[in-house]
């Protein structure tokens, strides 16, 4: 179980980069010599050093002139295959070859065509022992956003809404009425720091006038995505403030005004979820939370274009209102969040 223990540590380290490395994967690296961890690292920020050079640097920082000899006897653990190509940083596989590591243990091979086995091939050709597939399923689930983007050419899509105990989503008279409690709201803001973007439709933007930021949690704001076919939302609304980048999908114009980006689409009443998903893929947006309204959520559900759903259910009952979407997925977990119940679903 030793390999599994160190691979779990890789995932713990990799998670520290959550929200900061997209569209790259989250990667952690642990270097072990003589049953002792001699260096650790993770990918901290997109465009900066990957996990492997950070871990190697940690070895040199700690052991100085003895680092070279230690690395020659060491095993490196990494949850994703070391890259083999020049991107924003040099190939990580070359770094392990340079320092003549004894062995490299890998969770997942990299599905990106620029790597996909090429890093492993470099290591083996240099005489380094390579073991793959350690905690493979766990490592792939951990980087499910990255794997979805590469394999399906679309972002990882999370549906999120709140509903009453008897299945109502909102009012029918166009007024705002809160359903979930304060803890649910705070958790929702935490989620926003973990994903690249958040999407709402015109009606939600008009009625709720949301800010769509992570103001109740420490972390980055997601890119705000709004569907506004005819550009009817007043520019005085919160989504036009400068707190985050905002992208407005519409049929009128393509333009940029400071942090507001307008993207024109044709025939938005046809295949809208598919068009948005592909556009986000082209923009390197790796994950998106869709928060409403009902029409937008149902369109993505009907297109079967979603990966997980997070549904808060309150204890309250309404006598009337707009019915919540019906989810057709696999219930993975149900937990109590303050006064609300949170049901988590995965797409079958």
- The residues annotated with a catalytic role in the active site are 52
Question: In 3-state terms, what secondary structure has residue 142?
Answer: helix
Q: Which residues are annotated as a binding site for NADP(+)?
A: 162, 178, 204, 208
Q: Which residues are annotated as a binding site for substrate?
A: 192, 212, 215, 291
What strand order describes the sheet that includes 36-42?
Answer: 36-42, 28-33, 75-80, 103-108, 129-131
Residues of each annotated binding site: 50, 83, 92, 162, 178, 192, 204, 208, 212, 215, 291
Residues 195 and 289 sit within 8 Å (Cβ to Cβ): yes
- Residue 286 is inside which H or E element, if any? none
d(CA 348, CA 346): 6
- Binding site listing for Zn(2+): 50, 83, 92
For 9, the token pair is: 């540590």
63 and 38 Cβ atoms separated by less than 8 Å = yes
- Tokens in use for 27? 């990667």
Beta bridge partners of 255: 262
> CB-based contacts of 39: which residues, under 8 Å, 6+ apart?
30, 31, 55, 56, 57, 58, 59, 62
């Amino acid at each position: 179980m030793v390999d599994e223990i160190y691979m779990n540590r890789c995932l713990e380290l990799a998670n520290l980069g959550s929200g900061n490395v997209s569209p790259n994967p989250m990667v952690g690296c642990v270097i072990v010599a003589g049953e002792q961890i001699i260096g650790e690292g993770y990918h901290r920020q997109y465009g900066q050093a990957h996990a492997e050079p950070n871990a190697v640097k940690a070895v040199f920082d700690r052991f100085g002139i003895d680092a070279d000899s230690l690395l020659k006897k060491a095993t490196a653990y990494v949850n994703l295959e070391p890259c083999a190509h020049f991107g924003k940083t040099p190939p990580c596989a070359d770094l392990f070859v340079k320092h003549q590591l004894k062995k490299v243990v890998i969770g997942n091979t990299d599905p990106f065509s620029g790597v996909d086995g090429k890093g492993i091939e470099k290591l083996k050709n240099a005489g380094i022992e390579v073991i793959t597939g350690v905690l493979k399923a766990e490592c792939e689930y951990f980087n499910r956003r990255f794997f979805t983007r590469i394999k399906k050419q679309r972002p990882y899509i999370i549906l999120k809404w709140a509903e009453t105990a008897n299945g109502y989503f909102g009012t029918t008279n166009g007024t705002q009425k809160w359903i979930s409690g304060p803890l649910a709201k705070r958790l929702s803001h935490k989620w926003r720091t973990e994903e690249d973007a958040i999407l709402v439709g015109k009606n939600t933007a008009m009625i709720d006038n949301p800010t769509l930021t992570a103001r109740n949690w420490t972390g980055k704001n997601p890119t705000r995505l709004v569907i506004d076919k005819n550009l009817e939302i007043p520019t005085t609304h919160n989504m036009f403030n400068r707190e985050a980048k905002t992208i407005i999908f519409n049929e009128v114009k393509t333009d940029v005004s400071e942090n507001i980006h307008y993207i024109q689409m044709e025939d938005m009443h046809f295949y809208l979820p598919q068009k948005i998903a592909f556009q986000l893929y082209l923009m390197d947006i790796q994950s998106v939370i869709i928060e409403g309204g009902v029409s937008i959520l149902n369109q993505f559900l009907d297109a079967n274009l979603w990966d997980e759903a997070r549904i808060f259910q309150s204890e309250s009952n309404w006598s009337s209102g707009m019915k919540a979407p019906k989810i057709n997925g696999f219930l993975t977990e149900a937990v109590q969040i303050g006064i609300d119940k949170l049901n988590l679903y995965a797409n079958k």
